[in-house]
Chains A and B, each alone.
Chain A
Amino acid sequence: MPIDPLTYLPLTEPTFYILLSLAPGKKHGYAILKDVKDLSKERVNMSTSTLYTAVGRLLDQNLIERLSEDNNGASPGLPRKSYALTELGRRVLEAETVRLQGMVKEARLRLREEEM
């Protein structure tokens, strides 16, 4: 069912980074946690439980999906479930990126006006 991605905006910073982390492909929880920390230059440093609360909400909203990995495919010690962006999640991420771009452009324009 096509859903307007604009209705999910604006995204919170952790949500944005979680979705962004999954943009290249599926990841398990720990990889998301590390990636979000790196992507945000350590600004978003979530606890495990905070990550999974966010993941649960994103699953409810159908922005991400949970994938089961077979026992042979999963590395020892790593969670056996991984997460991937849904089509809707990808569209929401793209829409948020456009929104942020627009904001940055406006801000730059206004700041440039002030300098002149």
Chain B
Amino acid sequence: MAVVTLEKLSKRFDRASENAVHEVSLEIAHGELMVFLGPSGCGKTTTLRMIAGLESITSGTLAIERRPVNHIPAKDRNIAMVFQSYALYPHMSVRGNLGFGLRRRSVDRAEIARRVTEVAATLGLSELLDRRPHALSGGQRQRVALGRAIVRDPAVFLFDEPLSNLDAALRASTRQELARLHDRLGATMIYVTHDQVEAMTLGDRICLMDRGRVAQVGAPMEVYHRPANLFVARFLGAPPMNILEAALGSDGIGPVASVGGAAVRLASLLRPAASLRRILIGFRPEKARFVNAPSADTLALRGELKLVERLGAETVGTVSVTSGTEILVRTPGDARLTAGGTVLVAVPHDDLYVFDADTGQTIGSSAVHTQTETNAA
């Protein structure tokens, strides 16, 4: 069972004052595709390189198949990696590239030839076996890099932003190919990307990283719907979640947030209101609607429609609400909108998220709201 376990894994580079990766703890199950997602510099690639054995581990334990491998060199970890730049050996043919690792592992020639031919056939590289990498297109190089990993039949596959050098169309088809590959091989895979579409579509689970720390780990839809903090909420989703500053008060029954002239009773908060100083209210652009009149159970915001962007399937409106904050509203593509007028935007209370403005932690959300009500009943 190729289970990869990270326990308080940290990395500090020479002469750095802070950890590049800070106490990352995570267990990746056998056959799982785990995606490390985050902006550049968040430590996701460094974490991957530590798992690969290309970067030393400053502290913490890394175990593969329950066996600590901190001091085991890369070549003995039974791991294969696909690099962002593909890293194909330019002086070797495709055949040579595919077989290079096997030759080192003293697999016999007939067996190497058989495995290379087989992998080449599944990846559609059979015609290209005698070409050098420079004579291949980007997509073909990518497949060779993939083949080089598959041919070794490793316990764990590592992918370091493997699609970022491909054009948009090829990226989409290769992404689907990768998903099928994962289904077929059933191998443990760790996939690093900064592209949320790749993360959402490929990952069994997503590990969001921010400044060297794990921000949240969970299934794609769970992370999307229940962000643990402001960073996750803002990072996932395009266009990103709207965030508004709110004043926290009380109407005698419970805490009330005042947002852009409207007030929302917060049904539940994870922390007592007394300890809160400032809060932020967030909602996803697709949850907001343009309405004619405010209704109960919605947060209604009045503002000026500044910009209308028609993307075909959907139309995104930019609304400037009081205090100059701009919010985005995602509506169906054929919505009749004209920039310039005053509009009313309504967001159901259930679709609001509440964040502590100081710590960025989620302190209330629709999900929590519902749950609490259920508990109360």
A binds B: no
- Contact surface of A with B, Cβ cutoff 8 Å: none
